Amino acid sequence: MVVVLLFGLTLIAVIAAKDFLKGLIAGFFGLLIGVIGTDHIYNAPRATFGFLELYDGVPLVAALIGLFAVSEALVMIEQKLIVAVEGREQAKRSNWSETLEGLRISLQKWWHIVWTAFIGLLIGVVPGAGASIAAFVAYQQSRLWSKHPELYGTGIPEGVIAPESANNGVTSGTLVPMMALGVPGGTTSAVMMIVLQYHGMVMGPQLFTTNPGLAYGVFVSMAVAYVFMIFTILPLARYMSRIVLIETTYLVPIIILVTIVAAFSERQYLFDMGLALVFGVIGYIAHKTNYHVTAMLIGIILGPLFERYLVRALRISEGDLMVLFSSPLGNTLWGLLVLSLVLPFWRTWRQNKALAAEQFGEES
Per-residue pLDDT tens over the stretch 24-78: 788 888 888 888 888 777 778 888 888 888 888 888 888 888 888 888 888 888 8
Written as one string, the DSSP assignment of 246-258 is: S-HHHHHHHHHHH
Close Cβ partners of 53 (under 8 Å, ≥ 6 residues apart): 267, 269, 271, 272, 275
Amino acid at 14: V
With a cut of 80, say whether residue 165 has pLDDT above it: yes
Fill in the DSSP letter of residue 115: H
Written as one string, the DSSP assignment of 19-67 is: SHHHHHHHHHHHHHHHT-EE-TTT--EES-TT-GGGTT---HHHHHIII
Neighbours of 170 (CB within 10 A): 31
Q: What are residue 216's phi and psi, to 5 degrees?
A: -80, -20
With a cut of 60, say whether residue 364 has pLDDT above it: no
Taking residues 211-240, report their average pLDDT: 80
The C-alpha R_g of the chain, in whole angstroms, comes to 23
What b/e string do you get for 175-213 counting C-beta neighbours within 10 Å, with b at 16 or more?
bbbbbeeebbbbebbeebbeebeeeebebeeebeeeeee
Q: What is the pLDDT of residue 58?
A: 86
| pLDDT range class, residue 278, cuts 50, 70, 90 | very high
Q: How many residues does the chain have?
A: 364
Q: What is the pLDDT of residue 282?
A: 92
Taking residues 152-163, report their average pLDDT: 82
* C-alpha closest to that of 15 among 229, 296, 261: 296
Plot region of 187 (φ>0 → left; ψ -120 to 50 → alpha; else → beta): alpha
Burial class (CB in 10 A: 0-12, 13-18, 19+), 293: buried
Residues in a beta bridge with 45 = 38
Higher-scoring residue by pLDDT: 358, 111? 111
Q: What is the pLDDT of residue 99?
A: 76
pLDDT digits (tens, 9 = 90+) for 72-115: 888 888 877 776 666 666 666 667 777 788 888 888 888 888 98
What b/e string do you get for 345-361 counting C-beta neighbours within 10 Å, with b at 16 or more?
eeeeeeeeeeeeeeeee
With a cut of 80, say whether residue 159 has pLDDT above it: yes
Q: What is the pLDDT of residue 12?
A: 66
pTM attached to this predicted model: 0.62
Residues in a beta bridge with 46 = 37
**Above pLDDT 70, what percent of the chain?**
87
Mean model confidence pLDDT for the chain: 79
pLDDT digits (tens, 9 = 90+) for 204-219: 777 777 777 877 887 7
Taking residues 322-343, report their average pLDDT: 81
Range among 76-80, 117-121, 243-247, 290-294 with highest mean pLDDT value = 117-121
Torsion of CA 130, 273, 35, 167, to 10 degrees: 20
Q: How far apart are CA 254 and CA 285, in angstroms?
A: 21
